[in-house]
Each structure stands twice: as C-alpha cells, then as structure tokens.
Structure 1
C-alpha cells in the first residue's frame, strides 16, 4: 500500500466538485493509495502477440488482456531476481513497459482501423505512445516525434531504436510552432499534453506535492495554445487526439471545448463511447473519456478525439531553415548500397523509404517525410544504416533493429554470451569463426550487429542501450 501518497486537502475538495455521481470519493482516495498493476505492450514490429504469449508462458509470466489495446497486458511476474526491464526480451524491444491508461490515446487515434500516412506526436518522450503509434502504422508512412525537453530526447531516441522503429523523424521544439510551420500537413495528431500529473499518484506518491488550482489553470492556458497548434497542423478530414494524465476539468474538458469554441464548424467531436467494452463507464456527456483511478484500476487519464471537417487559417511565420545537410543518393549510389546490403547482410530495403547521404553517412528516410524537408528542421530523420568507406560500407546497429526479421541469418548466442553482449562486451560463440559483419541472436530474436575478428564477434551495441548489471 502507498498509504503515504500525498493528496492535498485543496485537491480533494476540488475533486469533489467534478467527481461523477456514479463514483465515490472514498473509492477514489483508496485507489490513489493502491500501487499500480504493472502492464506491458507487445511490440508487434518485433514479434506477434501469439508468439509473445508463448514466450511469456515459458517464463511463468501471467498476463491479463487490457480491453482497449489488443497488444497490451497487465503482467504478474516474479521480478525478485531480474526486473522486467532487464530481460533480454525487453532489451531487444519485444515489449514495452507501459502503463495501461497511456495505451488509450493511440488506441483512440487508430480506432476503426484508421490508416494514416503522416502522423505528429507533439510531446513524445519517453516514447511509449510514439512506439505504439509506429507499430500501429506498421513502420509505414512518417511519424514526427517532437519533444520540447532536450534532456528527454536521448531517452526518446533510445526507445525508438530499441523497438525497431524506422519511420520516425524527431524534433526538439516547443510544440506551439507546428501550427505555423507545418500547417495542414498531418493526417493525424496526438497531443498528449504536458499536465499537472494528477492521475499519476499511484506510481509517484509525491506527484501532488506542488499542486495548486492556480498552477492547474496556468498549465491549462499552455494546453489551449498547444491544442490550437495541433489543429492547425492537422489536414482537413484528419483526426486529433488530446490527452492528459490529469484529472481536473480545467486541463481536460475545458481545453477540449476551447477547441470546439475556437474553430466552430471546422471541428467535430468523435465520441469514444464505443472504443472498447465498458468504455461507457468513463464516457462524459460530450463523448470524451475521463478515467479515474478506480474506474479500471489504472492511472487517471483523459482522452478526447476530434475530426477536422474544414480548413483553418494558420498563423503566419517567417522561416529561416539554413542549408539542408543531406542530399539524396544518385541511382548508381543507391543501387550500390542495395546490392551490398543484400550480398553481405541478406537484407532488402523497404520500398517506402529512400536513401540520403550526409558526408559519408548513409541514411534511410521515409518517403512520406520528403514534402516536409524544406519546411521544417528535424533533429534526426529515419535511421542511419551505414558509414561509407573506400572498401564498402560499415553497417550500423539500426539495420539489426529495424530491417531484420526472425528469418534473417544470424549467429545464435548462448545465454552467457547474450548477457555479455547486452553489457557491451565482445563474445566468442563456441566453435565458430567468420569474416565481416554478422547479426547475433538469442532465443530466436535478433539482438544486434557485430563484426567477426577471428573467433570473436566485436560488439556493435550503441552505448545508450548497454546495461551493466542485474541482467537475465
């Protein structure tokens, strides 16, 4: 029990003013004081749900389906020896440790099996929703993942890389710029807005230490600016999801209704009442989802979905982009890369991507990104697949994470060697030797790219993905 959860008296009095009649205050407080159930999401870019369930059974992990996400499960696992985050399956990106409620916004965005070629995630770090969206897009089209806090961009990139995402372009801006810089550019936008975090007390007992109604109202003003920017960046006919892990109407219903009041007939609320069985238990009269901690035994969350039914006049901005440092490869250069990749690594490139070059670095960009390249400055685009040298190409780690499959030829490592690999060390597969670059695998899934040096495989794991203790 988290009996020491801090719930300010002023906050509790505020909750009493908007708690639905169907819910009880004592149940709300009791739920806030209970630890969260741990939950995970299977990363279908790496493994099917069926195959993951088979693996989970072999580890004696007990999974319970989350009703609003077909890839999501509450998990009961013995972590006394190895935390879930230090399992080989997690480090290889087969699953993401993600709170159940945070799976709701992407699920709402892609409800009814909607297909989007261009998606914007306006506040992306640490990457749980970004990687969920990428999986729902099946790595196709382009997903722009923006994060305002520079300190969180590194974590965002590490999670994108670990999960084998290749269709992302990252940026590091105050998300209020998107409406003016990329007006009506996206088929879909997710704004999981910065908020007071009122719904997160079950995992952070001190989340409410600095809560005040004044600060909530200040945050709401920023959220209104952000939702206007999101709407301007959305194409006519596109879908927008606004979400927070807050509970107060000031940050939720009032921000959502600010959008409809501002843009009138150009915006239409999409009801989430039928998003999943029993969604009606959290549905507001407007059609939003207002999830309290006791509703589904999860974090508190708010989700609203809108359809843009008409164009909007975006803010006018002056752009100073500077020189774009990349150039597309010529047909001959592209052909050389494709042939070498197939001959040396047994891989083909996805047809919806294009090869670009910066100095001697070869990058794979989503083709759907190209219309934005002259309109916006990104911090990282697509994946770096190679460094070019006089004698050929040195393939990079993201070739292993984003371009391989379970059928890709690899050297199978023992548990001991796999553990050494994730700790950033070279490995010596017993009785084997070879030449050139080679994929290494463990338990039938690719875990990295190395290079043979005699009977040793030189480790190619990026530093940000190296773990140094308490591994499987």
Structure 2
C-alpha cells in the first residue's frame, strides 16, 4: 500500500520507536467486526445463532470479531432483521465511552451512517430520547434507514447544522457524541482511496471544521452533562490539540478521559476518543430552565378515519382492534402528520424551522381510509407483540428451504406455500421469530410489502 511520504514522515516523528510496527500493520489483514443490537437480541444469543463469531471486542461488550474472508453477515436475513450492525471494531469505542443510561436525552451530532447511533440506542432501550443528525441530505437518508432497520422507536432524525441545533436545543441533552468528520488517517488500510486524497491542507481544513462543530456543543449540554469527541485519524491537530483548544475556551468543562487505538496495538483501525464533562459548579441554568426547553407544540389530532383504519389493521394482525395501542412504548403520543401516523416521544421539543427527516416511530400511512403499516413499525415491535400476532408468516433462516423463502421475501417477491391458504389482510413476516416486515394475504399467495429501498440485491454488500 502506497502512503503519502509527508504522512509517513509525520507519523515517524509522532511514533518514534513504534513507527516500524505501525508501518508493518499496513501489511496485515484488517479486522472485521459486528455488534449485537440489544434492542432485539443479547450478545450471548447472537453468538449461538452465528457460530462463526470469534472473540469479543475488548472495548465493547456487545462487539465480536469475525473472518470476513469466510462469511458475509450482510447477506444474512438476521442483518435485515436488525439483530446486529456491521461495524469496524475500533469505531465501537466512542459510544461505549459515553456510557449512556436508560431515560437520558442523547444527541449524536454527526451520525451517518448510524453505527454509533444504533449503539447509543441499545444503551437507551425504549426509554428517553435519541436525536441523530447529519448535515448532508443523502447521508441523513441512509441514517434513517439504519435507525428504522434496527428497531429504534425513540429517535428523531434531523438534517441540520450544529449551529441551528444549538439554537433549538438549549441545555437539553444529558449526553452528546461528536464523531467528527476528519482526514481519516486511521482508515487508510480499510479505504486506500482516502490515502490518495490526504494532504496537510486536508488536515488543516478538517481541524477548522471540527472546531466550528465543537463550538456549538456547550449550549446544548445540561449542567453536569457529558460529551465524547472522537475521530478516526492519527493527527494531533485533529485530536489532542482540538480537545486542548476546546477546554481552554470553555472553563466549565473538564477532561474525564482520553484514549487512542492504534492498528499496530489492537485488532482494529485507528481511532481517538476523548470524554469531557460539564462541571456542575459552573451553573448554566436551573433544572426548571432545562425542563422549560420542552414547550410541547400543538399535537395534530388523529382523525376518526385514521383511528378506524389502524383499528381494522390491529384486528387483522392481532385479533383485537385496540391491541396496537398496548404495543407502544410509554411516555409518548400518536400523532397524524400529512397522512402519516407516528408515535412521538413526550420528550420531543419544538422542531419548528428544523429539517426533520423523521420525528418519531413511523407506524404507517393512511390512504383512502386504509392503514398501510411501515417496515419500521414491524421492526420496532417488542417480542411480546410479535408472539401475539395471529396473522404471521414465520420463516426459518436456519432451514435451507425456508431460508430460500426468506430471501425471496427480502427481494420483494410474492410468496406461495403449496397447500397453504392465507387469510385476507395484513400478515407480519418474521425470520425465526424476528420481524422483517409485512405481507398481505391473498388466498394461496402472500403479496410482498417489503419496501423497495430496503430489498436484498444479489452481489450487494452493506
């Protein structure tokens, strides 16, 4: 692998006697990892289902190594069911370092494609609020897809600048993750094209950009709150020096801890993470002011037609017209926005003027008096809701014949069982009890309702 000479000179000065080992790491195969999604499955159970998983990632209890030359976890139905997220092992460090707890308000400021967001959501559970944001529209759409596929119901997906978020979320968050855009030096082995684009000018550009992002953070963090700043680069200008500048400009923050992962020392690529805390003694507003940050806007009422439509859907799937309400998390409200039915957290602040990709858990849409459930609704259902479904098509990813049917479903094809007759109406489709999406019964056929943008494509890796 050809690395820029100026980069190598810089790394030799930075690492000294460790430089030969660092250089040798580029000749070694990189480590591959995936992380169990605790919203759906425990790491222990996932290991039983995927025997090719190797040892745990040391800095992430939910993470595992695997041999990417032997297996392709992105081509397994469990991937589509959101049981795990494929993630470079070192990238699992920042969210683990933040130590999010259930019920907290959390911001992932530079979130796409969403791996760290899913990790934070696993720590939150179905409590509290997760705000995920990316300023790039296309990346924000990818972020939304991963949030929904992984069954996260208490998330808001935004497409905004840090400055506009700071104006809308004054002293709102308990925890903030800033996984900042960077020069990507730590990813050269994984993505060699990044090495071709590298220059000292790029490092300076990213350093200025990171400083502007960090400048917006203090206004959004409550007194006593914590933040983690992270990058996937080796550059001191983007790491320790960036942290030093932030702490010098904000005396109300203190450094809690800082860690680097080097590819010649661990099974993973390069990563940096620093945890900082707002010192409670530097008051920035009382708890009453913090509570006032939520000025609940007028909730759009759910129309009678929409209530009737989703009740009929609930009767088809669960046998009872009102059972769908019991499946929703506590601490939220169902709203109707332009024909879309969503469950929104009561923690939701006013979002007026912000670019909102999704304001809550999308249950589905109402079209001509009929309710059409979303794939996000299926994937966010708790296990008891899945078990309670009376109209369900449960396929097996373990059985060769039925795994073929699972793949057909994920490709968007119509399903047919010889001798089977499917009742009219909506059916929940699952793989070994884990929800994938919906289908409609039509006698001997099941009409596929898996969304086009989510479908299995031959040869595709994610």
Q: What is the alpha-carbon distance in structure 2 between the residues aligned to residue 215 and residue 361 of structure 1?
A: 43
Answering whether residue 39 of structure 2 is matched by residue 45 of structure 1, we say yes
- Give the alignment partner of residue 15 of structure 1, picking from 5, 11, 15: 11
Answering whether residue 256 of structure 2 is matched by residue 294 of structure 1, we say no
Q: What is the alpha-carbon distance in structure 1 between the residues aligned to residue 453 and residue 191 of structure 2?
A: 25
**Alignment match, 1:423:** 411
Specify whether residues 291 and 190 from structure 1 end up closer, same or farther in structure 2 by C-alpha distance, changes over 3 A only. Answer: same
- Deviation of 1:178 after TM superposition, in Å, equals 2.5
- Deviation of 1:407 after TM superposition, in Å, equals 2.5
Specify whether residues 155 and 389 from structure 1 end up closer, same or farther in structure 2 by C-alpha distance, changes over 3 A only. Answer: closer
Q: How does 1:152-301 map to 2 (within 5 A)?
A: 152-264=139-251, 266-271=252-257, 288-301=258-271
- Give the alignment partner of residue 363 of structure 1, picking from 318, 342, 352: 342
**Alignment match, 1:304:** 274
User: For 1:16, what is the secondary structure of its paired residue?
Assistant: helix
Specify whether residues 9 and 391 from structure 1 end up closer, same or farther in structure 2 by C-alpha distance, changes over 3 A only. Answer: closer
Specify whether residues 355 and 32 from structure 1 end up closer, same or farther in structure 2 by C-alpha distance, changes over 3 A only. Answer: same
- Deviation of 1:185 after TM superposition, in Å, equals 1.4
Q: TM-score, normalised by structure 2?
A: 0.87
Answering whether residue 381 of structure 2 is matched by residue 403 of structure 1, we say yes
Q: How does 1:92-111 map to 2 (within 5 A)?
A: 92-110=81-99
Q: How does 1:105-120 map to 2 (within 5 A)?
A: 105-110=94-99, 114-120=101-107
Q: What is the alpha-carbon distance in structure 1 between the residues aligned to residue 309 and residue 171 of structure 2?
A: 35
Q: What is the alpha-carbon distance in structure 1 between the residues aligned to residue 142 and residue 162 of structure 2?
A: 18
Answering whether residue 317 of structure 2 is matched by residue 329 of structure 1, we say no
Q: How does 1:79-94 map to 2 (within 5 A)?
A: 79=70, 83-94=72-83
User: For 2:208, what is the secondary structure of its paired residue?
Assistant: helix
**Alignment match, 1:316:** none
- Give the alignment partner of residue 65 of structure 1, picking from 50, 53, 56: 56
- Deviation of 1:446 after TM superposition, in Å, equals 1.8
Cα deviation, 1:80-115, whole Å, max 9, x if unaligned, reads xx62211111122111110111110100001xx644
Q: What is the alpha-carbon distance in structure 2 between the residues aligned to residue 341 and residue 137 of structure 1?
A: 30
Q: What is the alpha-carbon distance in structure 2 between the residues aligned to residue 404 and residue 337 of structure 1?
A: 22
Does the CA contact (< 8 Å) of 2:103 and 2:124 recur in 1?
yes
Q: What is the alpha-carbon distance in structure 1 between the residues aligned to residue 29 and residue 235 of structure 2?
A: 21
Does the CA contact (< 8 Å) of 1:216 and 1:250 recur in 2?
yes
Does the CA contact (< 8 Å) of 1:181 and 1:375 recur in 2?
no
How many equivalent residue pairs? 431
- Deviation of 1:392 after TM superposition, in Å, equals 4.8
Q: What is the alpha-carbon distance in structure 1 between the residues aligned to residue 232 and residue 22 of structure 2?
A: 15
- Deviation of 1:361 after TM superposition, in Å, equals 1.9
Cα deviation, 1:168-223, whole Å, max 9, x if unaligned, reads 11111232432333221111110000000000012112322122223212211111
- Deviation of 1:332 after TM superposition, in Å, equals 7.4
RMSD, aligned α-carbons: 2.6
Q: What is the alpha-carbon distance in structure 2 between the residues aligned to residue 447 and residue 463 of structure 1?
A: 13
Answering whether residue 338 of structure 2 is matched by residue 344 of structure 1, we say no
Specify whether residues 460 and 373 from structure 1 end up closer, same or farther in structure 2 by C-alpha distance, changes over 3 A only. Answer: same
User: For 1:249, what is the secondary structure of its paired residue?
Assistant: coil
Does the CA contact (< 8 Å) of 1:326 and 1:358 recur in 2?
no
Q: TM-score, normalised by structure 1?
A: 0.85
Q: What is the alpha-carbon distance in structure 2 between the residues aligned to residue 404 and residue 114 of structure 1?
A: 20
Cα deviation, 1:18-75, whole Å, max 9, x if unaligned, reads 22x6x61111011133221110001111212222111112xxx142111111110001
Specify whether residues 471 and 377 from structure 1 end up closer, same or farther in structure 2 by C-alpha distance, changes over 3 A only. Answer: closer
Q: What is the alpha-carbon distance in structure 1 between the residues aligned to residue 423 and residue 448 of structure 2?
A: 14
- Give the alignment partner of residue 384 of structure 1, picking from 350, 354, 362: 362
Consecutive unaligned residues of structure 1, counting only runs of 5 or more, are: 272-287, 314-323
Cα deviation, 1:220-260, whole Å, max 9, x if unaligned, reads 11111111212221111111000000111100001111111
- Deviation of 1:386 after TM superposition, in Å, equals 2.5
